[in-house]
Amino acid sequence: MTFGLQFTNNSNVVTLDSEFARLSLICSGRYAPTEESGLGSTTNFPVVLTSQEPPLIFVRPDTVNAQAGLSLARVNGSPGAWTGFYVRAFNVNTAQPNGRYFAAAFKAQPVATFGMRLWDAAGSLIFDSGTNAALFTRAFQNWTYSNTVFISPNYFNYYTVDFNFPVNEYMMVNNFGMSLTAGGASGRLVSCLWDFPAGKLWAVTVAASNPYAFYLPALFAKMAV
């Protein structure tokens, strides 16, 4: 930065800068089954999120002696008025969608009744002393291809990585709600599976064609509270 306000921590790492927004924790809570015979879950935020970009949704499924999976993740609402999110269990053989979540954005919410606020040059609120930060902790991209199951007309490709869930860590699901490039117009759907007994994280792609390459990162973060 050339002017304004900047804070650094004991390791000389910039923690607050008046030109750049940090990843702010907007709200947190639990998600649970709400529809589709317990397979689907719609969660409404306690406040409307006013960022133009969809907020980042991080989830931590309840640890079970089984597999927990999520698919079809999406953020509900529209730019400037995001109201909640939807996720669905991977299938009827995995645990229902139960767990904790937090939503974060590179924009602060005006929630503090006293303290300090910062705006960027465009007038966007980038810091509010009543809004805690969310911190990225790690990313996995070294997936190992496992196997393919063909259930007409689709190929189900399975990829895995060793995994554990440290205390207070959550996984981002926004990118697991996107369609990936495939050989056809419909693309590849992608889901995630947590196999708690085996200590494995799985990614599952579904497509009518069968590309094997898979590089989608699994991103993790924690609430700095």
Domain boundary pick from 107, 136, 165: 136
Mean pLDDT estimate for the chain: 87
Cα 13 to Cα 8, 60, 163: the distances in Å are 5, 28, 28
The whole domain housing 184 covers 139-217
Domain boundary pick from 81, 104, 136: 136
Query: Is residue 211 in a domain?
Result: yes
Per residue in 108-122, pLDDT tens?
777 778 888 888 777
Higher confidence at residue 31 or residue 211? 31
Per residue in 190-205, pLDDT tens?
999 999 889 999 999 9
Other CB atoms within 10 A of residue 200 CB: 17
| Largest interatomic CA distance in the chain | 60
Domain boundary pick from 136, 161, 180: 136
212: which residues sit within 8 A by CB, 6+ positions away?
145, 157
- Dihedral sign, CA of 42, 134, 174, 101? negative
- Look at the chain and report how many structural domains it folds into: 2
pTM score: 0.87
